Chain A
Amino acid sequence: MSEISWGLWELLLQGVWVTVQLTVFSAALAAVVAFVIGLARTHRLWIVRFLSGAYFEIFRGTSALILMFWIFFVLPIGFGWQLVPMWAAVLALGLSYGAYGSEVVRGAISAVSPAQREAGIALSFSPAQQLRKIILPQAWPEMVPPFNNLLIELLKGTALVSIMGVADIAFGASLVRNATGQSAPVYTIILVMYFVLAFLLTRGMRVVERHAKAGIGKAPEKRVGLRSRLSPDQVGDIARSGAAPAGGAGR
């Protein structure tokens, strides 16, 4: 590892930043798509359900990588302009992960008891008010854990963009590997980098989940972290040895 110079490290760290950006932008697009398509799939008009169902099937059934190539190389033929690779990637990832996410939204909505909608009707809420005030707030806590899974899948899926020359972590890694000729340390390092990013996402989503559950009167699960099970001395030992106890990262 000593042979990897600071300049090459910088390359990897810039890659991390690009990966983070890709993940954030793609996730934002995917979230919008997931809610729009997911809600449309529960719509009372069959044509809306049909079109959104078709979107879901098509984008679930196509490879994100090929979709990215298609957006980058084929779309310009029709429209005469070309997206930069970064945005082609965001579009491809957002549209396909949005399709997966729509299934999460649809499932969580249909898991809300029909009796809740009936109570909404009995109080003369409009269909839109029922959705906004009653159904979605109850469906939301159910969506968070599967969204977390998708988010981590998306993070790892961003590695596809390196094929199109977007300088993300994976792209940086191949540059460094070419420069040093060393595979083992480089790929071990980026393995850890992806893991750390995924872990941070999970911790963040835990906080979101706790808030969501508290919002429907479900007390947050009592935390039985490592810290509370160890004596203060042991915690001190662990802290000195440099390993952060898992329970401490949540807040």
Chain B
Amino acid sequence: MSADSNLSKATANPAVDGSELIRFDRVTKRFGANTVLDSLDFTVSSGKHVTLIGPSGSGKTTILRLLMTLLKPDEGTIKVGGEYLTHEKKGEKLVPAGEKHTREVRKNIGMVFQQFNLFPNMKVLRNVTEAPVHVLGMSKEAAEERAHELLDLVGLTEHVDKYPTQLSGGQQQRVAIARALAMRPQVLLLDEVTSALDPELVAGVLDVLRDIAHTTDITMLCVTHEMNFARDISDDVLMFDAGRVIESGPPEKIFTEPEHERTREFLSAVL
């Protein structure tokens, strides 16, 4: 893609040194009597692309939603870039964080949703510029210039002036990717981003994400059922079952010679 040079410029990312960026420390999440995550520990290093796989209901999406603070953990703590996400240090004690603290830490994280969730009351360009202008305090001109770069990158230059409802699902999802990148997040969360798309539109969206994965140093956490895509972009694959990581490793290992019986069953069902 000719936009590659644009891409690295558009998403240039500070402070990538392979150090620990995300840490889950004994995180438990319950929905009623159902324990979705069970004292989960894991870390993601800066710049890594991590794919979460596993049967539905195994807690993959819950991890992304916890990181985006759409859910709060029942027990345990989450750190992003060394800062507690939903907790604050008050003296020696760790207390639940206020909205402002959480919002500050959260600015480092972007998310693309299964159902796109574009704002239908804003045209495409404003979907991408609104948060940089009103949350990051960018000037309107700078935000629009960057939005045009990003929309060019996802191949939607000619649609900037349309409302989301006038676009196909694949186009909407590519706008959503541009919208998330416009905030220059250190971490990009991808929550089954192609599951709601018609089959013929999936490839276009995955191509854009492959580009981003290969040409930027943004850290990615990805929940997907597209195993080929996972194999292409991942540094690490985590296999979940019943709220725990039962196996992890590089994609070549997980996809070709998994150790765990449960992983073998799962992969033979989806591949």
A interface residues with partner B (beta carbon < 8 Å): 113, 115-116, 118-119, 121-127, 129, 133-134, 137-138, 215-218
Contact = CB atoms under 8 A, between A and B. Distances in A.
B157 interface: no
A115 B110 contact: no
B119 A119 contact: yes
A133 B99 CA distance: 18
Given A119-B113, A119-B117, A216-B163, 9 more contacts: A115-B117, A116-B117, A122-B109, A122-B111, A123-B130, A123-B131, A123-B183, A217-B166, A218-B165
A138 B68 contact: no
* Most chain A CB neighbours (cut-off 10 Å) among B110, B134, B162: B134
Interface string B82-118: 0000000000000000010001001101110101011
Contact of A118 (B113, B121, B123, B165): B113
A123 B135 contact: yes
B22 to A, nearest CB: 16
Contacts of B57: none
A-B residue pairs, 10 tightest by C-beta: A217-B163, A123-B131, A119-B117, A137-B121, A122-B111, A217-B165, A216-B121, A115-B117, A216-B120, A124-B135
Contacts of B183: 123-124
B178 to A, nearest CB: 12
B60 interface: no
B126 to A, nearest CB: 10
A149 to B, nearest CB: 24
Given A127-B99, A217-B164, A118 B120 contact: no
A134 B118 CA distance: 10
A126 B165 CA distance: 25
Contacts of A122: 68, 70, 109-111, 113, 180
